[in-house]
Amino acid sequence: SGVQAAKVMANFVPSKEDYQKVYNCITEIIDDAGDYDDGSHGPVLLRLAWHSSGTYDKDTKTGGSNYATMRFDPESRHGANAGLNLARDLMEKVKTQFPWISYGDLWTLAGVAAVQEMGGPKIPWRPGRIDGVAADATPDGRLPDATQGADHVRQIFYRMGFNDQEIVALLGAHALGRCHTDRSGFTGPWTFSPTTFTNDFYKLLFDEKWIWKKWNGPKQLEDKTTGTLMMLPTDYVLVQDKSFRKHAKAYADDVDLFFKDFSAAVSRLFELGVPTQQFVTTKAWIMKSSDEQE
Ligand code: ZEM
């Protein structure tokens, strides 16, 4: 609006309430999905937030959510980011209404809203990311390759600074959404409720019998019972690898533990690459979900 645009001109310092307005605008876009996928834009927005953060390298302190470099070519065209133009375009509508927010803050806040609105835990979040330039982008290959095994998964997530327990917790996000043949080449959802945040991803890993799908596409697993659910090779390592398996079992058995650990890990994921002094507050905020504001 004109008022929000004028705020940019006036060197406006937004308050927590201003960010809550952005959050609320995002929740409308999450819900306003018509017959897109399973009726929610939440999953693809969470994937955008994750891919904008997961490029971080702790040794060189490059990548991460700070500069939102996925706006630029060639990162926008990196294979791993296929389909995320849809999520970025959705967020442009929010950016037009709240031009003072940085893209990094906007995208990570959308990730927070996606988790919270789909019934997940509260995700502590704070603003302070700044818009970068194309030269801040990291090279292709920093995001995980779903066809690989445990060594690859560890190498990618250790580079971001996560341990085995955090890796397993983060992967529980695959309770949400689905794979698309025209994006990753894989197909299908991981759970029967892809727009509700649950620990079903872990439960299904243990409870179902998983068999290799016979098809022309990339190697993926399907559940033997219905053939409608899927697991990526990298998801399946959570039951194959001894250390990963221990944590996956704990999350299958205890949804509260999963929610608590997912919240902590994803909150940290979304802050990767942001210098501490850039954050406007030491203590992260808990944004109100839409059902708390009715
Ligand atoms: Zn995903 N992910 N991911 N992921 N992801 C897909 C979809 C989604 C991997 C991966 O290759 C894929 C994390 C970790 C890892 C989400 C969130 C998070 C898809 C399907 C693939 C292939 C894309 C498509 O075709 O649309 C791999 C290999 C991972 C680590 C080993 C983490 C961490 C996440 C968040 C915390 C979400 C929400 C989706 C669903 C997107 C949608 O559009 O429905």
Helix (H/G/I), strand (E/B), else coil: 89:
helix
Active site residue 50: no
Structure token pair of residue 149: 């095994």
| Amino acid letter, residue 232 | L
Q: Where in the chain is the domain with CATH 1.10.420.10?
A: 150-260
Find the DSSP H helices in 135-293. 150-160, 164-171, 200-207, 233-240, 242-253, 255-269
Find the 182 Cα to ligand 1 centroid distance in Å. 14
Cα separation values, 29 from 73, 75, 152, 226, Å? 25, 24, 35, 32
In angstroms, rounded to a whole number, what is the distance separating the alpha carbons of residues 34 and 70? 26
Q: Name the CA dihedral angle for 87, 182, 160, 106, rounded to a multiple of 10 degrees.
A: 0
DSSP state of 139: P
Complex ipTM over 0.95 = yes
Return per-residue pLDDT of the chain as tens, 294 residues. 567 666 666 678 999 999 999 999 999 999 999 999 999 999 999 999 999 999 999 999 999 999 999 999 999 999 999 999 999 999 999 999 999 999 999 999 999 999 999 999 999 999 999 999 999 999 999 999 999 999 999 999 999 999 999 999 999 999 999 999 999 999 999 999 999 999 999 999 999 999 999 999 999 999 999 999 999 999 999 999 999 999 999 999 999 999 999 999 999 999 999 999 999 999 999 999 999 997
| Other Cβ atoms within 10 Å of 111 Cβ, number | 29
In angstroms, rounded to a whole number, what is the distance separating the alpha carbons of residues 165 and 44? 24
With the most atoms of ligand 1 within 8 angstroms of its CB, the residue from 47, 56, 239 to mutate is: 47
Antiparallel, parallel or unpaired: β 178-179 and 188-189? antiparallel
Strand ranges (E), the chain: 178-179, 188-189, 210-212, 221-223, 230-231
Question: Which atom belonging to ligand 1 lies closest to the Cα atom of 145?
Answer: 28
DSSP state of 62: B
CATH topology of domain 150-260: Peroxidase; domain 2 (1.10.420)
In angstroms, rounded to a whole number, what is the distance separating the alpha carbons of residues 208 and 10? 57
Structure token pair of residue 29: 């876009």
Among 141, 139, 126, 146, CA closest to 217 = 146
| Amino acid letter, residue 153 | V
What's the pLDDT at 184?
A: 98
Q: How many residues are listed for the chain in this entry?
A: 294
Q: Where in the chain is the domain with CATH 1.10.520.10?
A: 2-142+266-292
Find the 170 Cα to ligand 1 centroid distance in Å. 10
Which of the residues 41, 50, 51, 174 is marked catalytic?
Answer: 51
Among 17, 27, 21, 13, CA closest to 100 = 13
Q: Which residues line ligand 1 (CB under 6 A)?
A: 43-44, 46-47, 50, 83, 144, 146, 153, 170-171, 173-174, 176-180, 183-184, 186, 232, 234, 266
The highest-level CATH class for domain 2-142+266-292 is mainly alpha
Give the chain's radius of gyration (CA, Å): 19
